[in-house]
Amino acid sequence: MPVYFSRIGMSDRINVDRENIWHPFTPLEGGDPPLLITSAKGIYLHTNDGRKIIDAVSSWWVNLHGHSNPTIAEAIAKQTSSLEHVIFAGFTHEPAIRLSEKLLAMLPSGFSKIFFSDNGSTAVEVGLKMAIQYWYNQGKDKRKIIALNGAYHGDTFGSMSIGERGLFTNPFFPYLFDVEFIDLPIQENEEQVLNQFKSILSSGNVGCFIFEPLIQAAAGMRMYSAALLDKLIQYAKENDVVCIADEVFTGFGRTGKTFASDYMENKPNIITLSKGITGGFLPLGVTSCDNKIVNAFKTQDFTKTFFHGHSYTANPISCAAANASMDLLTHPSCQRQIEKINERHEIFKNQIQGSNVIKDVRVLGTILAIEIASGETSYINDIRKSIYSFFMDQNILLRPLGNVIYVLPPYVINDDELDQIYAAINKFLARL
Ligand SMILES: Cc1ncc(COP(=O)(O)O)c(C=O)c1O
């Protein structure tokens, strides 16, 4: 049963929140107080004062099967009463073993190891460190890293270093390591980016190429073609460069296929995963790699061990949630839902395309992004505030990236609910 506080009680709780809690990506001064969520079910968030809000962004892109999904909840409950956690060095457990089997069966062929951590940033850190140590273990100096302009890979120092230098990273700039950045390859600059890439490769010492495959999410859902990325991976591999696909966002059906890497013929050596892996219930990160990487660590030389681990590595409860989430994901009804969301997005895109208040509208799998023609496209475009409050007034959570509105619903959303979101977007566009 949801707990309802009286109005007085509620402002009291929010005041305690204000006093005690530092929220992510949120200024400490100014702005509206947070909403108090007392429960969530399916695609809806329930507030203490009786509002029912559509979670059209899957709570920062983590939720796949709806909130409080009973199958995942049950798997978690069962796991908590048998094994809550155990050190993962020298010990193992059934939920992690089962999850490794499931993930390796889903990942592109050739992937052979699963390394657990606890969020997207750490999954990326692990991937980077594996790639760097891959060369170290062989005594080779291939220290250059290539990344894409506009990238976002997380908030730890390694992941910040390979990300866009700007608003999020400015205070830390002097502490970030050097990376060679290439532009996002789009149709207009294809030749130029390919040449830039080749020229960096031929300058020597390149050890690693890391990218968000097909879509840069935090940069404003910027999409690019699989064919181009395929070429970049091919060139990188021809030059013996370790390729890392950061699928923290794109994994588990978001782009229409299980992994964005499934769109390419050339596969990365390392894939990083998190977000949707537990269906949005619990934190878990995974870094998977192929035998090329593994072989550089298969040695009796203790000094070449991968010395990385977190206290909660492979937490059994998180693994149990992930096992349940993977079973739901691979079920034909979920796959059909993913296709349906894509079809509906495409239809809506065709309806609004050409509007003079839209700079661009794009769809990839279950992701719909609408770039509003209002000033420069940027995370700090001021229109974001009016977009957010307009949709919140309609009880729809759409948290735009500046002037880019995106819809990224849990897969359990139905036609009427999608219609409600599209109708609200039409209403918003009509006001511009
Ligand atoms: C592509 C990508 N990589 C890594 C991350 C970082 O994940 P986390 O927020 O779980 O650290 C994100 C988060 O948005 C992401 O989109």
pLDDT of residue 186: 87
Ligand 1 geometric centre to CA of 372 (Å):
24
Query: Which atom of ligand 1 is found nearest the CA of 285?
Result: 10
Query: Which atom of ligand 1 is found nearest the CA of 216?
Result: 1
67: β partners: 42
pLDDT (tens digit per residue) in 181-235: 999 998 889 999 999 999 999 998 999 999 999 999 999 999 999 999 999 999 9
List the residue whose alpha carbon is closest to atom 8 of ligand 1: 120
pLDDT of residue 412: 98
pLDDT (tens digit per residue) in 278-290: 999 999 999 999 9
Instruction: Map tokens 């719909």 to a residue.
Output: 368
| Ligand 1 neighbourhood includes 246 CB (under 6 angstroms) | yes
369: β partners: 362, 406
List the residue whose alpha carbon is closest to atom 16 of ligand 1: 249
Orientation angle between helical segments 332-352 and 316-330, nearest 10 degrees: 70
Ordered DSSP codes for 73-132: HHHHHHHHTT-----SSS---HHHHHHHHHHHHHSPTTEEEEEEESSHHHHHHHHHHHHH
The closest of 38, 61, 29 to 397, measured between CA atoms, is 61
Ordered DSSP codes for 306-344: -----TTTT-HHHHHHHHHHHHHHHSHHHHHHHHHHHHH
Q: Cα–Cα distance between 397 and 411 in angstroms, integer?
A: 16
The closest of 276, 273, 270 to 294, measured between CA atoms, is 270
| Ligand 1 neighbourhood includes 247 CB (under 6 angstroms) | no
| Ligand 1 neighbourhood includes 152 CB (under 6 angstroms) | yes
Name the pTM for this structure: 0.97
Beta strands per DSSP E along 235-275? 242-246, 270-273
List the residue whose alpha carbon is closest to atom 7 of ligand 1: 120
List the residue whose alpha carbon is closest to atom 13 of ligand 1: 154
Q: What amino acid is encoded at 241 in this protein? A: V
With a cut of 70, which residues of the chain have pLDDT below it? 1-9
